[in-house]
Structure 1
Amino acid sequence: MFKRLHLYMLKKFVGPLVLTFFLSVFFLLMQFLWKYIDELVGRGLELSVILELLFYASLTLVTMALPLAILLASLMTFGNLGEKYELFAMKSGGISLIRIMYPLIIVTFLISIGAFFFTNNILPYTNLKMRSLLFSISQKRPEVNLQPGIFADAIEGFSIRIEDKDKEQNLSNILIYDHRGKSGNRNVAIAESGSIKVTENKNHMIFNLENGTSYEELNKPIDRRQYHHNYPHQRIAFKQQIIYLQLDGLGLDRNNEDLFKSGFEMLNINQLDIARDSLHRKLRHRRVDIANNIMLYNLYKGRQNPYPPERDYHELGIVPEIIIKMDSLKNLNTSVYGLIEKEETIPKLDFDSIFSSLSLNQKTKILDFALNYGRSTNTYVDMTGDEVEISLKWIARHEIEWHRKFTISIACLILFFIGAPLGAIIRKGGFGTPVVVSVFVFLMYYVITITLEKTARELAISATWGMWAAVVIMFPLGIYLTRKAMNDSLRLSNEQYKRFINRFRLKSKVKKQE
């Protein structure tokens, strides 16, 4: 009996799951195309390149489409069972809701494990391929696409305008400016008609011009005062003229994956651990360097001796006895800082009494020195503080990506335990109410995830809390709905929907009358 029930539930669940998954990927892919449409249009891309990009983009969207598909499929499955009273019949036969959900829980658990392996092993490779391909497309110069009435500047050194063009690439009223000499419009070719052809390797474009004239100014005035003089030019009429234009940079360079291999989106868990440890180690060393620079450079101008040399004291009219003691310690193999910390070795200076004994001019010099040191230190701290913050944000991005490998899998399980009992509660199947409810629940999960992830990127909260907060928030909701559906203590029927809508309409009428 249970085997038949399990097979029946699997048939009910797998169909909607596959359908909603591909629909989710499709809609998300349309969003991707809308985002990158400007990068793709006018590039002269082959169909195979576009299909390859869409394939990689579809794989990168799996992590978002899969949780949504599980939520929607589970809600539709149990909504259909509740709407047709099949769920009621199963419960009347003594089968609990958890028992009914059992085969689907196993399937969802296996999908979650597969999602983890996908995000850890396949997704980094897919991200690398897609980012590399997008970069190659962005660096590819647009294919020369001559439009009537518009100057085309895609070919370096030339500006081309045509009046009309047919399907066979026959052109009429052609105007070509040659700017290769960077001397303005001094070389112009005009033709009544012509044709255009790109070589097979797409390295050259061949213009076959007919019945035209070429103009060229032979001299260029150097002095502005010479512009009022007349200068010779060359005018050549032709029946046919062939122009070869070089099309550098129109090919698609696919050898740029090394630029993206170290990106956090292209790493698996082990690689992220190594990269994160390396970044932490570099940051620790950098902080030590910053602290040493502040102590040795900004405050003491890079001197190993923390006391100014004797000549500076002579300028200020002070020669403390401590200078003699410090000079006598230079030949020792002992750290100066260790000796400074020992009060019995080096006596402290009474700076207040020394400062009060100085003249006004000497006090002004000392204050100017201190003010300059303080300003330079403040500038250095601000500059290095931004550097440290950037490093911390980069580390946070690696930590966020590390946690993402796990949160996607856990989200699939939690959204199933929200969708299945919610479908049993609302008892509505199809693509109507389940779609509305599932989209609302998923948007709530997505908004929480994106908001806290961005907050973690800005270092306002930890990466752990930023990535797991949505899971922690949605988990109690799944437990609550499952318990309510098991006890049949929360049901929403058509009569309750109508009652709620009528009550809302009644309140609206009362407010209008008031």
Structure 2
Amino acid sequence: MKKIDKLIIQAFFGPFILTFAVVVFILLTVQMMNYVDQIFGKNLSYFDLGVLVMHFAIFQTPIAFPLSVMLASLMTFGNLGEHFELTAIKSAGISLVRAMRPIFIIVVFITIIAFFSNNYLVPNSALKAYSLLYDIRQKKPALDIEPGLFYGGIENYKIKVDKKLSDGKTLLGIIIYDHTEKSGNKEVTIADSGKMYTILNDQYLKFELFKGAHYTEEKGKPKRGRIYDYQQVGPFTRTFFEKSEIIFDLSSFAMSRTDEGLFASNRLMRNFNELSSDLDSLSDDILLAEGELYRVPGRYFAYSSAKNEIKVPEHIQELQKTEDSIKRVEAKHYEESKEEIIDKMNEKEIEDTLSVKINASSQKPSQRVKTALAKSQTITANPVQNKNNKKVEAKKTDTPVSSAKNTGKKQQPPKKNAKKNQQPPKKNQSTAIKKTNKKPQAKKKVLTNEEIINLIEEKYENKAQRSRILKSALATTRQAKSKLTVQNSRIDQLNKDYFEFDIQWHKMLATAIACLSMFLIGAPLGAIIKRGGLGFPVLVSILFFIIYYVISIGGEKYAKSGILPVYQGVWAANFILFPIGLFFLRQARNDARLFEMDYYKVAFSNFVIRVKKKAG
């Protein structure tokens, strides 16, 4: 490695690490501000809070990488240009592109790291962060008893204090209502003063009460009267005390962790391969739902010609053809293996086999094709054999004679008269068949819709019967409409999920490749501006990042609604900013002064001179 490469790389790493930390901190602050009310006031431990912040910080890295690359490259070449180091490099015969090469190689490695981070670290951190955030939301607020207010954070108890001293433990004017019996305010404890503190590692809350009384009204026994039933008044008990202790269980205030597997199906928690498999599953579900949608008219309107007028899309027709071919293969396979199954299995096993075949029809087309092919190959490779390893052939046999009847009897010779009863052998089957002249059947007349309607009207002239038919038709139409509405809603939701998962799949690549686009903008701009530090370069970087962010958000919005293809919506920012970066690179190679006022003053004066010459 040459010294100039070391110089440029050292000048790049410092700003990159600094800007990356600053960008992550800013994005993390914006993210955490959305959950301030849900996090604070829950008495979280520093460990849980630190884990939450760490995972949310990793979750912000997909946006932080491109912005920090652009800002660091702009600051690097801005510092080199401001201190005339870039001028010295050019005077040594080294071009700007050659000077940018070491940083470009580093940015390529950063792009690869960003992709692997998006694929592995970010989904895992999103899963950890949002599952922990959910548990924090479900956690009860910290114990906080305010003077003059009833506190109901402890289950089945209401606590009120008149005054709370500065030490946080001493209380005055204490009232405690016990609602464990769910019978109203029938058990009350009153004390002039007391102390409140936690014990056993904050698992229990202990009250020490002084100079008070405990009032209890027990529940009376029910009694039946002449007119109505009523309940007798129970005994009332009042107990005075100089000192009493009450201990409350605080286990409900502890945070319980939820199984992270419940959140793993969200698109933010899926990696590249999992998103691909999810997209395949969603695509199959959409095709099956659309095929079911076009089958509804045929089910509800069996005698209507409207179902024939519905144009089925080509991909749905292909799906239906695939399903029909699968059914034909299964039926053919069933007929071929029927005799072998009968010879090999008993009736109960046959019923089990038939039930398996019926259940197989509920599988997806791809799975059913594999199952049918596997069964046909298995039977072809292993035909049914007998004990002597010979193929079993179905033969027609006469009715067997019971062996019990023939036991102990000699076989008698045939009688002479039996010859008279014997019939001569039959001739060949082809010669025995008589020729029959069958008359061709007349073609059935196909009735038109009007003729069918006329026949129906002639047959059903009864108004009551017509009313029943109309009500039945109306109910059938409403059922079909409801079915179509539900099916359309399901298809819309499946399409929405498909677009969201597809957008997330493309974003993993697009945000990583954005590092290269941002480098092509930042490095030439730094060479053109020739200013380092955190002043003007930061403003320019923020400007281009806002452009990148707005284009990305707009593209994702159009992609979710289906206006644009997903790849166009997600990659639109890179497609737009990449040519702009090449333009800035061309201007930097030509030493253009795009950000100097003298350049525009000279250009304006030249324009005025040309206008005057043409006017004169």
| Superposition TM-score tier, normalisation by shorter sequence | 0.7 to 0.9
Cα distance, 1:421–1:376 mapped onto 2, change above 3 Å? same
Paired residue for 2:505, among 397, 402, 405? 402
Partner of 1:482: 585
Partner of 2:423: none
Following superposition, the deviation at residue 498 of structure 1 comes to 10
Length-normalised TM-score, structure 2: 0.68
Aligned partner letter, 1:471:
N
Partner of 1:215: 215
Distance 2:29 2:210 in 1: 45
Aligned partner letter, 2:538:
V
Number of residue-to-residue matches in the alignment: 456
Partner of 1:147: 146
**Cα contact 2:179–2:185 (8 A) shared by 1:** yes
Distance 1:126 1:203 in 2: 31
Partner of 1:37: 36
Partner of 1:263: 266
**Cα contact 2:220–2:235 (8 A) shared by 1:** no
Aligned partner letter, 1:116:
F
**Cα contact 2:521–2:581 (8 A) shared by 1:** yes
Aligned partner letter, 1:406:
L
Partner of 1:355: 453
String of CA shifts for 1:340-374, please: whole Å, max 9, x gaps.
Answer: xxxx9986432223324625947666555444433
- The more displaced of 177-186 and 60-69 is 177-186
1:470 is the counterpart of 2:570:
no
Partner of 1:428: 531
Aligned partner letter, 2:519:
F
- The more displaced of 22-31 and 365-374 is 365-374
Partner of 2:169: 169
What is the aligned-residue RMSD (CA, Å)?
A: 3.2
Partner of 2:244: 241
Please state whether the residue corresponding to 1:245 is helix, strand or coil.
strand
Cα distance, 1:152–1:33 mapped onto 2, change above 3 Å? farther
**Cα contact 1:197–1:205 (8 A) shared by 2:** yes
Following superposition, the deviation at residue 165 of structure 1 comes to 4.3
String of CA shifts for 1:36-65, please: whole Å, max 9, x gaps.
Answer: 111211212111110111111111111111
**Cα contact 1:209–1:240 (8 A) shared by 2:** yes
Aligned partner letter, 2:187:
N
Partner of 1:288: 291
**Cα contact 1:6–1:100 (8 A) shared by 2:** yes
Distance 1:495 1:172 in 2: 78
1:446 is the counterpart of 2:544:
no
Partner of 1:299: 301
- The more displaced of 143-152 and 131-140 is 143-152
**Cα contact 2:27–2:60 (8 A) shared by 1:** yes
1:376 is the counterpart of 2:479:
yes
**Cα contact 2:177–2:187 (8 A) shared by 1:** yes
Partner of 2:192: 192
Q: Identity across aligned pairs (percent)? A: 35
Partner of 1:314: none
Distance 1:290 1:245 in 2: 59
Aligned partner letter, 1:172:
L
1:121 is the counterpart of 2:120:
yes
Aligned counterparts, 1:303-314, within 5 A:
none
**Cα contact 2:296–2:480 (8 A) shared by 1:** no
**Cα contact 1:42–1:145 (8 A) shared by 2:** no
What are the ranges of 5 or more consecutive residues in structure 2 without an aligned counterpart?
Answer: 223-227, 309-334, 336-441, 604-616
Following superposition, the deviation at residue 169 of structure 1 comes to 2.6
**Cα contact 2:219–2:233 (8 A) shared by 1:** no
Partner of 1:460: 563
**Cα contact 2:593–2:599 (8 A) shared by 1:** no
Cα distance, 1:472–1:167 mapped onto 2, change above 3 Å? farther
Distance 2:444 2:94 in 1: 86
Cα distance, 1:294–1:204 mapped onto 2, change above 3 Å? farther
Distance 1:497 1:35 in 2: 45
Distance 2:105 2:554 in 1: 31
What are the ranges of 5 or more consecutive residues in structure 1 without an aligned counterpart?
Answer: 307-332, 334-343, 501-514
Distance 1:464 1:102 in 2: 30
Aligned partner letter, 2:550:
V
Please state whether the residue corresponding to 1:22 is helix, strand or coil.
helix
Length-normalised TM-score, structure 1: 0.80
